[in-house]
């Protein structure tokens, strides 16, 4: 529950849009990013795919990364 999956999208070295598993949706940080986030948030398949990334990437690998640190 302490793990968060974040995927950020950049344009011209500025963060446009970000998906955060703790928020559960895309958030836009620029005018362009807000429009993109709104479109992506209206696509249920895109949202469910991003939500599944937390389990597929983070939760699946956390034990491996954690044991390597210790």
Per the domain annotation, does 32 fall within a domain? Answer: yes
Residues with Cβ < 8 Å from 53, sequence gap 6 or more?
5, 7, 21
Per the domain annotation, does 11 fall within a domain? Answer: yes
Per the domain annotation, does 1 fall within a domain? Answer: no
Q: What does pTM read for this prediction?
A: 0.79
Name the 3-class secondary structure at 46: helix
Per the domain annotation, does 43 fall within a domain? Answer: yes
Q: Read off the CATH number of the domain in which 36 is found.
A: 3.10.320.10
Full residue range of the structural domain in which residue 63 is found: 6-68
**pLDDT by position in tens, the chain (length 70):** 678 889 999 999 999 999 999 999 999 999 999 999 999 999 999 999 998 988 888 777 777 766 766 6
For the chain, what is the domain count? Answer: 1
């Amino acid at each position: 529950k302490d793990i968060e999956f974040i995927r950020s999208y950049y344009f011209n070295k500025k963060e446009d849009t970000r998906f955060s598993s703790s928020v559960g949706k895309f958030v836009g940080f620029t005018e362009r990013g807000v429009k993109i986030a709104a479109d992506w948030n209206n696509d249920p398949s895109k949202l469910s795919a991003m939500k599944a990334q937390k389990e597929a990437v983070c939760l699946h690998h956390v034990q491996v990364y954690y044991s390597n640190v210790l």
